[in-house]
């Protein structure tokens, strides 16, 4: 990296202080009365469309005002190509387009309306609705549009399989489990949507819908494995009618018990929309009346995901209060000052009692004897604590201790939650030295080749970004060069790409991964002159946009990735790049000055940053996210860190993030 000769440090400029103060005031104004932050979490058209279709599946009373707002949202996010993308300005996506069109038609949009005609033409021009993914095919089968032979066989007897069996629920991710179990019951019972309006979408197919057969192999699936599993699918399809009725009922009962145990009150099964919606349909097909407490609470949980505005509305895939609060606290601690620090401490006091200490979640299968000690992503999800969130919360609590020790904050005592979380995080480290988001050693990659897994996200394997966060946490709280830390560093060194970047599983994408890893390596004491740090910092500087910012979009997850492809700058991705460069000791690099100038220049009059583009990831190539909070705390964090490094006449970041 061509590092310029450092210039004498200068005090923070008045303009920079003004930017930080304005952003701080805006972030503090968004804090909830009890101390936490929660911002909207937006996906693509599929979730709001599925919400509308669920209500009509169940023949619930039509909420015309709400449907009109959802329709306005769906029309607004329609792409120029006529269909619906997975992220802003993204390519046409068949499944999102089919569901959005169906939902708009269900709401009452005329099929000859210009936007509907454009959507229909776009869908048909790309092969028609039969090209949709497996989850969309399940929906089409539930409405009776396509035969059940067009979806993979998933017998409910899966619930009875022994743990050693090649396919077992314990071998897939938490999100797959919670979605699949109620879906198994639905496939066993094969109900048909009530659909009181009788709306159909035959016009989206190029062939007679009832003639459609099994879905094709997805691009990421290996042919040998796929065709093996397709053979298994054919055998199961022939054998399923012969399964003993008593065994089937026993499997259904076990699925019902599994869901009921994890129902999670008003926060819903798995606290994610697809699982929650499937649980409601499961209770419905099993004959539970709307008044049954289990069905009622499952249905109520979905309403809590709605984001309703004066003219538009949509349904969120889940909510993110733990994540939002932890990151907001970090940004405010970086800002410093009496009010910012006091309100961040209030956020930590809200977080502390939400640590999961008394539920052995599904992760216990791989880590028997390990005590729970993590935090969830959502308000409550005790069976599924999030490793990444836990590391972020612990680092924020540790920062509070550090500020108190220097007399910059009131005393805090988070020693007990930090110690318990450390124990859990260490116990969740996988055999390869890395961490996954919710499970350990979840690397049964052959399962991504079953016909059901055309989305390629059946598993929760260890990833670079989550590993980096855990390493950052362990280093910040004084773990030293323990065996766990050494193994994590070795994993990150092994996974660096030739260009210098690291993959970002949960944030978009290589900018996010590289920021995460640079923070971790710096915290762990890796020399800034080490090849991996030098190479990564050079990559970040090299990909800076001419406007001084950084950007990347969902196309970076393509299977044949061959290096960074430029995308419009965003505030949050620019902040990640800046934080990464500063962690690498490059606070004086011209790229950092340009990036700081970019953030200051595009800041709004309200102190915040407008960020309509998606910068996060649910499932690569399938499902992307727009965290409305990212542009509210990450740019502030970067600006405040830059000021602090300049004012302190120091260039060393001493924290994990």
Q: Which residues are catalytic?
A: 388
Q: Tokens 């979009």 belong to which residue?
A: 553
Q: Which of 438, 386, 451 is nearest to 172 (CA)?
A: 438
Contact (Cβ atoms closer than 8 angstroms) between residue 86 and residue 222 = no
Token duo for residue 220: 């990421």
Contact (Cβ atoms closer than 8 angstroms) between residue 475 and residue 656 = yes
Q: Tokens 């939902």 belong to which residue?
A: 103
623-627 and 306-308: which strand pairing?
Answer: unpaired
Q: Give, in degrees to the nearest 5, the angle at Cα 369 between 364 and 372.
A: 60
Token duo for residue 178: 């919670």
Radius of gyration of the chain (CA): 25
Contact (Cβ atoms closer than 8 angstroms) between residue 134 and residue 128 = no
Helix or strand or coil: residue 309? coil
Token duo for residue 382: 């005790």
Q: Which of 465, 446, 417 is nearest to 657 (CA)?
A: 465
DSSP 426: H
The number of beta carbons lying within 10 Å of the beta carbon of residue 523 is 25
Hey, CA dihedral for 437, 442, 445, 451, is it positive or negative? negative
Write b or e for each residue in 636-652: b if 16 or more Cβ atoms lie within 10 A of its Cβ, otherwise e.
Answer: bbbbbbbbbbbeeeebe
Helix or strand or coil: residue 233? helix
Exposure on the CB side of residue 639, measured as CA atoms within 13 A: 32
Hey, CA dihedral for 182, 183, 189, 195, is it positive or negative? positive
Write phi, then psi, for 624 (nearest 5 degrees): -120, 165
């Amino acid at each position: 990296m061509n590092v310029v000769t450092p210039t004498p440090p200068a005090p923070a400029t008045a303009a920079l202080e003004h930017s930080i103060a304005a952003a701080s005031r805006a972030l503090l104004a968004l804090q909830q009365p009890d101390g936490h932050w929660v911002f909207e979490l937006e996906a693509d058209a599929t979730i709001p469309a599925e919400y509308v279709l669920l209500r009509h599946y169940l023949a619930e009373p039509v909420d015309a005002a709400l449907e009109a707002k959802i329709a306005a949202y769906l029309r607004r996010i329609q792409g120029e190509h006529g269909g619906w993308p997975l992220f802003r300005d993204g390519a046409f996506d068949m499944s999102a387009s089919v569901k959005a069109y169906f939902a708009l038609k269900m709401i009452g949009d005329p099929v000859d309306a210009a936007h509907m005609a454009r959507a229909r033409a776009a869908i048909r021009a790309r092969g028609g609705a039969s090209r949709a993914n497996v989850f969309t095919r399940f929906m089409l089968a539930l409405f009776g549009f396509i035969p059940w032979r067009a979806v993979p066989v998933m017998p409910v007897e899966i619930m009875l399989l022994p743990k050693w069996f090649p396919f077992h629920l314990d071998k897939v991710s938490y999100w797959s489990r919670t979605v699949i179990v109620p879906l198994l019951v639905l496939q066993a019972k094969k109900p048909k949507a009530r659909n009181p309006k009788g709306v159909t979408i035959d016009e989206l197919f190029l062939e007679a819908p009832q003639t459609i057969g099994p879905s094709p192999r997805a691009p990421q699936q290996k042919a040998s494995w796929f065709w093996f599993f397709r053979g298994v699918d054919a055998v199961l399809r022939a054998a399923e009618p012969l399964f003993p009725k008593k065994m089937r009922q026993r499997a259904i009962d076990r699925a019902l018990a599994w869901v009921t145990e994890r129902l999670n009150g008003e926060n819903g099964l798995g606290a994610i929309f697809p699982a929650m919606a499937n649980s409601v349909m499961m209770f419905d097909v099993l004959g539970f009346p709307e008044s049954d407490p289990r069905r009622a609470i499952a249905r109520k949980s979905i309403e809590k995901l709605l984001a309703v505005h004066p003219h538009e509305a949509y349904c969120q895939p889940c909510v993110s209060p733990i994540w939002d609060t932890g990151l907001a606290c970090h940004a405010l601690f970086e800002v410093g000052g009496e009010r910012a620090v006091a309100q961040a401490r209030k956020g930590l006091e809200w977080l502390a009692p939400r640590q999961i200490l008394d539920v052995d979640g599904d992760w216990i299968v791989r880590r028997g004897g390990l005590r729970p000690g993590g935090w969830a992503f959502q308000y409550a999800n005790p069976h599924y604590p999030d490793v990444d969130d836990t590391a972020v919360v612990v680092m924020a609590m540790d920062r509070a201790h550090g500020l108190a020790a220097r007399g910059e904050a009131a005393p805090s005592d988070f020693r007990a939650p930090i110690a318990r979380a450390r124990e859990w995080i260490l116990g969740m480290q996988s055999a390869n030295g890395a961490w996954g988001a919710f499970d350990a050693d979840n690397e049964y990659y052959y399962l991504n080749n079953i016909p059901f897994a055309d989305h390629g996200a059946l598993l929760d394997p260890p990833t670079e970004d989550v590993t980096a966060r855990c390493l950052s946490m362990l280093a910040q709280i004084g773990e030293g060069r323990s065996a766990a830390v050494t193994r994590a560093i070795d994993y990150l060194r092994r996974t660096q790409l030739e260009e210098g970047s690291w993959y970002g599983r949960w944030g978009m994408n290589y900018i996010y991964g590289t920021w995460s890893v640079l923070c971790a390596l710096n915290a762990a004491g890796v020399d800034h002159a080490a090849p991996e740090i030098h190479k990564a910092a050079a990559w970040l500087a090299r990909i800076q946009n001419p406007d001084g910012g950084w950007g990347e979009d969902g196309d970076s997850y393509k299977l044949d990735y061959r290096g960074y492809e430029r995308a419009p700058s965003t505030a949050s991705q620019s902040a990640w790049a800046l934080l990464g460069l500063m962690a690498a000791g490059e606070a004086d690099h011209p790229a950092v000055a340009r990036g700081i100038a970019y953030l200051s220049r595009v800041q709004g009059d309200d102190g915040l940053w407008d960020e309509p583009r998606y910068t996060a990831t649910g499932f690569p190539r399938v499902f992307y996210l727009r965290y409305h909070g990212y542009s509210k705390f990450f740019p502030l964090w970067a600006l405040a860190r830059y000021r602090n490094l300049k004012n302190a006449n120091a260039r060393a970041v001493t924290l994990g993030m």
